[in-house]
Amino acid sequence: MFRAVNIKRRGCFWQQGNMSILDEQIKLLEWKDLGDERGNLVVVEGNVDIPFEIKRIFYIYGSDDTVVRGQHANKNSEFVMINVCGTSKVKVDNGTESRVIELSRPRMGLYLKNNVWKDMYEFSPDSILLVLASEHYDEKEYIRDYQEYLKYMEEMEPDNAGQALQR
Ligand code: TYD
């Protein structure tokens, strides 16, 4: 599992309840506001507040409610998505289950394990979606065709899938 002890240090909140497989692959994170009378401050440290070392960041802005981004899965990369400004929605899908998460607060993050299909959409005009990634960019680890993704997930050895879920 993740380094929950470290993560709790900053008062991170992990979703609980009846767990499905998708619940093991995605996590809603909530970080503390370390701000004061000067304004807000949110800190996200790799391997402390999120379960991986950050190797890359990218951010998406200037998209609107007619755009759908993402539409891919990554074989290796894990991500944390944060709408540092505005709002957007993320539909996550593991081939058998799907869920829509609204990113609506700068203190809120959505963690995605590898092999999760994602669509980002309904961007507000002021949306800035910050993405922290566990890997450098490598187009070879992307699956951009949904049918191919379903086949890949079906063919994945159950042992590998289990291992992937427990990491
Ligand atoms: P794309 O994967 O379509 O972005 P999104 O998931 O946000 O819809 O990427 C758009 C282009 O940018 C594509 O040519 C690949 C390139 N790109 C990089 O070079 N490095 C990166 O880290 C990312 C996310 C994309």
DSSP string, 25-90: HEEEEEPPP--BTTB------BTTTBSS---EEEEEES--TT-EEEEEEESS--EEEEEEES-EEE
**Which tokens is 65 given?**
């409610």
**Which tokens is 38 given?**
């000067």
Ligand 1 geometric centre to CA of 117 (Å)? 15
Contact of 14 with 27, CB cutoff 8 Å = yes
Q: According to the model, what pLDDT value does residue 19 have?
A: 76
Q: According to the model, what pLDDT value does residue 13 have?
A: 41
73 within ligand 1 shell (Cβ under 6 A): no
**Which tokens is 51 given?**
């379960």
Closest CA to 83 of 43, 130, 45, 37: 130
User: Can you list the residues of the chain whose pLDDT is less than 70?
Assistant: 1-18, 157-167
Mutate to test the pocket of ligand 1, among 57, 60, 69 (most ligand atoms within 8 A of CB): 69
C-alpha–C-alpha distance, residues 90 and 112, integer Å: 11
C-alpha–C-alpha distance, residues 105 and 2, integer Å: 23
Mean pLDDT of the chain: 88
Question: Does residue 136 carry a catalytic annotation?
Answer: no
Residue 165 to residues 36, 77, 127: CA-CA distances in angstroms?
A: 38, 14, 31
Q: Which atom of ligand 1 lies closest to the CA of 60?
A: 7
Q: According to the model, what pLDDT value does residue 146 have?
A: 98
Catalytic residue among 72, 75, 89, 107: 72
Contact of 119 with 91, CB cutoff 8 Å = yes
Smallest CA separation from ligand 1 atom 22, residue: 137
Torsional class of 164: left (φ above 0), alpha (ψ -120 to 50), beta (otherwise): alpha
60 within ligand 1 shell (Cβ under 6 A): yes
Torsional class of 22: left (φ above 0), alpha (ψ -120 to 50), beta (otherwise): alpha
Does the pTM surpass 0.75? The reply is yes
Q: According to the model, what pLDDT value does residue 16 have?
A: 53
Q: 4-166 adopts what CATH topology? A: Jelly Rolls (2.60.120)
**Which tokens is 21 given?**
């497989």
130 within ligand 1 shell (Cβ under 6 A): no
